């Protein structure tokens, strides 16, 4: 599983950071960043919760 953040859609609410701080952080500009993009198996449930709870739907999940 991979996650990326659409920079054009993110508004910096920080919900993803609250749900999965091991993957998401905020940039200096206050927008979400996914690092690493490859989500380890033990964090996939919390990353999916972050995807589902993003108010702007800015997080994209892929199964690459």
CATH number of this structure's domain 2-62, picked from the four choices 3.10.20.30, 3.40.50.450, 3.30.70.20, 3.20.20.120: 3.30.70.20
For 29-54, b where at least 16 C-beta lie within 10 A, e where not — what string? Answer: eebbbbeeeebeeebeebbbebbeeb
Instruction: Decide if 16 contacts 35 (C-beta within 8 A).
Output: no
Report, as an integer, the average pLDDT of 4-22.
96
Work out the average pLDDT over 37-61.
96
Residues 6 or more apart whose CB falls under 8 angstroms from that of 20 comprise 43, 46, 47, 49, 50
Residue 61 has pLDDT above 80, yes or no: yes
pLDDT at 10 over 80: yes
Q: Which pair of structure tokens corresponds to residue 31?
A: 């927008």
Spatial separation of the C-alpha atoms in residues 13 and 24, rounded to whole Å: 12
Predicted confidence at residue 37, as pLDDT, reads: 84
């Amino acid at each position: 599983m991979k996650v990326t953040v659409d920079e054009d859609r993110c508004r910096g609410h920080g919900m993803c950071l609250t749900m999965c701080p091991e993957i998401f952080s905020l940039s200096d500009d206050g927008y979400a960043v996914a690092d690493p993009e490859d989500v380890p198996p033990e964090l996939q449930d919390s990353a999916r919760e972050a995807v589902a709870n993003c108010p702007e739907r800015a997080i994209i999940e892929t199964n690459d």
